[in-house]
Copies of this chain bind each other. A is one copy, B any other.
Amino acid sequence: MLRQAGVKVTQPRLRVLSCLLEAQAALSHAEIESWLSAEDAGELDRVTLYRVLDSLVGCGIASRSLDARGVFRFMLKSMQLAHAEHAHFHCQRCGRVFCVASMPVPTPSLPTGFVGISVALEISGLCPPCA
């Protein structure tokens, strides 16, 4: 993936990628950091992780979004596409994101001249543990 995207294949990038590949949901910087620090390979520098994530987003491998607390979360672009069809629930307290399969994203009906590229249906509130 990295080679295809035209960026250098480095240890940190491979580790972060494998993390995103395994993830079930969009991960925050802090979550990736603690996940990686549990590995044998040891910790990854905080700043390096920020820059690795920037580069993955920049070359189109990953996508960046905001959770309800205003924290950036990352997921593979390929996975993100699979989540474009239903709503997402953002917990205002813990920041976790849940898929709401029961709420499909409506097809855009835009005024003439507007070109829709993506639609997102975002619900804010409290998840069961936090409520």
The reply to whether B119 and A123 contact each other, CB–CB distance below 8 Å, is: yes
A127 in contact with B108 given A119-B121, A120-B122, A122-B119 (CB within 8 Å):
no
The residue of chain B having its C-beta at the shortest distance from the C-beta of A98 within the complex is B114
| Cβ-defined contact, A115 with B125, below 8 A | yes
Asked if A102 contacts B109 (CB within 8 A), the reply is yes
Verify B114–A110 contact, CB threshold 8 A: no
Name A113's contact: one of B71, B72, B127 (CB within 8 Å): B127
- Residues 67 to 103 of chain A near chain B (Cβ within 8 Å): 68, 70-72, 87, 89, 92, 98, 100, 102-103
Q: List the interface of chain A (C-beta within 8 A of B).
A: 66, 68, 70-72, 87, 89, 92, 98, 100, 102-103, 106, 108-128, 131
